[in-house]
Amino acid sequence: MGNRTFAMIKPDATRNGHTGKILDRTIQAGFKVLGAKLIRMTKAQAEGFYAVHRERPFFEELTTFMSSGQTMVLALEKENAVAAWRETIGATNPAEADEGTIRKDFATSLGENAVHGADSDENANIEIGFWFTGSELISNQ
């Protein structure tokens, strides 16, 4: 068993028909999917999930966007999952993302950047707990 991270396929990517391609890239990169759910988060849920950014100038834009359509929330497992997922998705700003990363290929802007990844093990557990109950996380073994 490896570590866990929390990921999201954001409304821009689901709207543009990229959900399947991003999931395929995720699995091909060696991540095991422990949980997956298609949701449409409310504005209040977006504000709660991103509470750490409450004072940022982009908070309103971010929470409006994240509640604008479908999001796939994912609990992923891999050795060093948090760092491995951040490497797989690339820089937050797609203009700075490396070739071959998910954001390089699917993100359109800093605000609409296709995917999310937790930034630490601690936040990964908090974020997984925000969207999943323990019994919704399933091992394939």
Judged by CB, which is closer to ligand CMP: 18, or 116? Answer: 116
Q: Which of 26, 112, 116, 131 is catalytic?
A: 116
Judged by CB, which is closer to ligand CMP: 29, or 110? Answer: 110
Judged by CB, which is closer to ligand CMP: 34, or 107? Answer: 107
Distances (CA, A) of 137 to 7, 78, 128, 130: 14, 14, 9, 13
Q: Is 116 a catalytic residue?
A: yes
Distance CA 128, CA 74 (A): 8
**Contacts to ligand CMP by CB under 6 A:** 53, 58, 61-62, 92, 110-111, 113, 116
Beta carbons of 77 and 2 less than 8 angstroms apart:
yes
CB of 47 to ligand CMP, least distance (A): 13
Distance CA 26, CA 18 (A): 12
CB of 31 to ligand CMP, least distance (A): 17
Which stretches of the chain are assigned E, i.e. beta strand? 3-9, 32-39, 71-78, 115-117
CB of 90 to ligand CMP, least distance (A): 11
Enumerate the active-site residues: 116
